[in-house]
Chain A
Amino acid sequence: MPLNATAYSGQPFSLLDTPAHEDLATIMEIDLVENADRQVREQWQDQQLLNLLKYAQANSTFWRHRLPHSLATRRTLAKLPVQSRNDVMKQVQSEGSLLKAEHRGKDETYASSGSTGTPVKVHLGSFNSRFNAMRSHAQFFMAGWPLNETLTFIKPAGADLMLHPHDKLRVKRQKAWTGNLSQVFANGPHKFIEFAHDETALLEELQKDRVGYLSCPSSFMHLILRKAGVEELRRMGVSLWLHHSDDLDVSLANDLRQAGIPTMSNYSCSEAGLIATECTAAPGHYHVAHSNVIVECDKSETVLVDGAELGRILITHLHSYATPLIRYDVGDFGRLDQVCPCGHDGPTLSHLHGRGKFFLRHPEGHLMPFYVFSARLLEVVTFSEFRVHQPDLATIIVEIGGREAISADEEERLKAFIIRASDPAFRVEVKVSPAIDWSRNPKRLAFTSAVA
């Protein structure tokens, strides 16, 4: 990691200035916890869990009803009921933040994730935001990825941008992306793109500067690749694809890796922060972020995907003092193994499904995965935007935007495609409009289900 010429402190008897020293200390702590021997790490997690349970018990009527009087960490945890999104909302609405005023700090924030159609608001302490940022930086140190590289981050536009139909995207630039540590380590610029629509505009923006680390969901990578192709990505200087937020399109990741662009996927949620990071040696396997969460796999409701029986992923966020998340059903399915094929001795997730919440509820009642990536759909019918919704057990509605009408042949092919991607038990409706009305779906989720 190259250093800046002015990396060190000008203060007497100081090596680094205090904010950088503090951040470095946290990153080193995270490294120790994440890579500690299993026994040591689990002992720490147990203690942190006990702290959280005691705190929740002492400060929340909601949690006093759920927790036994005597707390015994992991054994206690396994006996607690699953915390649903509705439970979280109920606790937050009735009790607000559990952080005592003196610990709240100035920047207590809310996070909202509406990817399942049920937006959840939670309270976060300032230490949560700081930890999340540090955990993200720590990944670069642990992986040995240079910091003197550009980080380009693309996320869906917020409602304020969406309400201005002529604004295609919004770009923010910063000199660096490692915060206090950018004083110490040579750090590339940070480009932050909020994307509303018009992939041509997005591509033009990406072509303006070296992209470096490209951090975006699969859906955006599809858009970019469709428009530019993998060679153009190389020309733009994409040195790593950091996937986040939605389901990872494995074939897309494979294509990029074959073209010499490494990829890594982060599994996270806005309520808890980082849950797991994809193993660089064993793609598709995710090392749990031990310093942040305990992950369990609830087998009381399972789904079969490609022959693998997957359970519900339950998250216990060890630092969730403002809104405790304890056995929280994050809405995803997957498999939890105790070690990674790479040799990492720690809980490892794989077969993650539902990160875009791509699950249909079959008319017979069970859940089934359902993937409709725009790239695949475009092979059937042309459009500028699309949306799929399951309003009830029997129906799938496909909305095609950017078209006044489609031909009967196109409609037939589209329906056949959706049936192939789901099950003949469904009835498919196709709606066509020049512009999809996203006002009730500000996160512009490509798929939502009212029953899954």
Chain B
Amino acid sequence: MIFEYGTNRLRQGGLSARPVSMLDPAARADLALLAEIDMIENGDAAARENWQGRQLVNLLRHASERSPFWRKRILTRSLTPQTLQTLPVQTRRDLIEQAEQEGSLMPRGGRVFTRSTSGSTGIPIKFHVTEQNGRYNSLRSLAQILMEGRSLHLNRVFVQSLDATRTLDGTTVSVERAASWFGPLGRVFENGHNKTISYVADRADAAAKELLKDPVGYLVCTGRQFDNLLDVQGVELFKKAQVRHWIHIGDSQDASRRATLLEAGISTLSNYSSEEVGPIGFECAQTPAHYHVAHSNVIVETDQEETAEIDGQRLGRLLITHLHSYATPLIRYDIGDMGVLLSSCPCGHQGPTLTAVHGRQKLFLRHPAGHLLKFNFVTKIFREIVNCSEISIHQTGPQTVLFLLKRQSELTEAEEQQAKQLLSRWISDAFEVVIRVVSEIDWSRNPKRLLFVNELP
């Protein structure tokens, strides 16, 4: 069959009670879409590339027809899949400019949402997504579970930072629960529960306590959150919480974390994604640190005009074309990361595969006592308190952290007070926090526009 369901079983009453129906419509549609995603991701390369080419032409036509910004960039009317390589790189600034000037490019009628990035490179981005983007992103992550033959019985726990409002009102940890995490198919298959733990940065202990209340199964969080939890009780915490798999998202992965977990019998899988695009690559289960490109969502290129050499490998700038970005087109979008693009994976997967991905944000302060300290700064949450278009953070001295905020007006007293209050919960008391408002941030010494730069020698 297309999917081998392995040990996954149907739920009692999971099949439809309607006449001449086997599954209810939403579950039926999802099941077929999961199979289709699997076919594209793992099927014949020729069929996949043909589909990508047609989807790309659809997107280019849409952008060209509905956007003056894109008309200036897409100079030909004779659109083919090869047109892509003739287009200029789309920077974050380009994206911001287009989204601000033109808004969503979707025709009226469909549901469009405005999103913003966490701002890991210092320039938060507002962009638009469609309802279909959200549905695809969700299905794509579920498809990965089935494609890897993993269990649906396990619970899934998502750990994240608490938002600004909850942080300021004194909440330490908040928990949301759902009966399943497999969408409409959660009513069809036996499926573990879903739990989302949101906690304030300095209270990882509270998050850990919550983590221990139920068997975890799949732990989904960033490397930063993982490290915070690891600090509480070490790897014993994950063993006690019955974590079976850690699904790493969002930031840089670290081989040492993988090794630590492996010793405890916990496997690690890393997803390479961005808020603008959704999934970009899924780490190969057989070849760590290699990411099979999410063919059903993106085309990835490497721009070799600016390269970096790390550990003897020559890395290029990763350019992403999001095939379904109809609201805010992302075409040859410079996502801010560097890496190596292989035409296939050492595991045998016949499709573009990323490795040596660098640039996913690392935030470490050097503590006055000499050790490195994880810095739990979340731009998105900070900007809920202080409106600013760019942020640049510098450790300028052993005890000083400077925040440069680009905005037109000075902070009000209330804004400054709230900002410092928030930062004090994120950063150790050992540091003095300095907030400075500027009309322009000088990025000339930080061309990758990293959110955080440690200036200590």
Contact = CB atoms under 8 A, between A and B. Distances in A.
Contact of B324 (A13, A24, A31, A39): A13
A228 interface: no
Interface in B1-23: 1-3, 9-20, 22-23
Nearest to A39: B12
A55 B48 CA distance: 46
A9 B51 contact: yes
B105 to A, nearest CB: 12
Given A13-B326, A28-B2, A48 B47 contact: no
A144 B31 CA distance: 19
Contact of A5 (B2, B9, B46): B46
A15 B20 contact: no
Contact of B32 (A3, A28, A36, A51): A28
A32 B10 contact: yes
Contact of B40 (A4, A8, A142): A8
B15 A7 contact: no
Interface in A1-48: 1-13, 15-16, 21-22, 24-26, 28-33, 36-37, 39-41, 43-44, 47-48
A15 B33 contact: yes
Contacts of A5: 44, 46-47, 50
B446 interface: no
Interface string B113-139: 000000000000000000010000000
A127 interface: yes
A195 interface: no
A3 B48 CA distance: 9
B15 A33 contact: yes
B28 interface: yes
Contact of A48 (B9, B19, B36, B59): B19
Interface residues on A, range: 35 or more
Nearest to A21: B32
A12 B62 contact: yes
A36 B37 CA distance: 23
Contacts of B29: 25
B368 interface: no
A33 B54 CA distance: 35
Interface in B23-59: 23, 28-29, 31-33, 35-37, 39-40, 43-44, 46-48, 50-51, 54-55, 58-59
A28 B31 contact: yes
B187 to A, nearest CB: 12
A77 B62 CA distance: 58
Given A10-B58, A29-B31, A44 B296 contact: no
Contacts of B2: 1, 24, 28, 141
Given A25-B32, A31-B1, A142-B1, A15 B37 contact: yes
A241 to B, nearest CB: 23
A145 to B, nearest CB: 12
A218 interface: no
A51 B20 CA distance: 9
Contacts of A3: 39, 43-44, 47
A21 B54 contact: no
Interface of B: 1-3, 9-20, 22-23, 28-29, 31-33, 35-37, 39-40, 43-44, 46-48, 50-51, 54-55, 58-59, 62, 132, 188, 296, 324, 326
Q: Which 7 A-B pairs have the closest CB atoms?
A: A25-B32, A8-B51, A29-B22, A44-B15, A15-B36, A3-B47, A51-B19
Given A15-B36, A21-B32, A37-B9, 16 more contacts: A3-B43, A3-B44, A4-B47, A7-B51, A8-B36, A8-B40, A8-B47, A9-B54, A12-B324, A13-B326, A28-B31, A29-B28, A32-B15, A36-B10, A43-B12, A321-B20
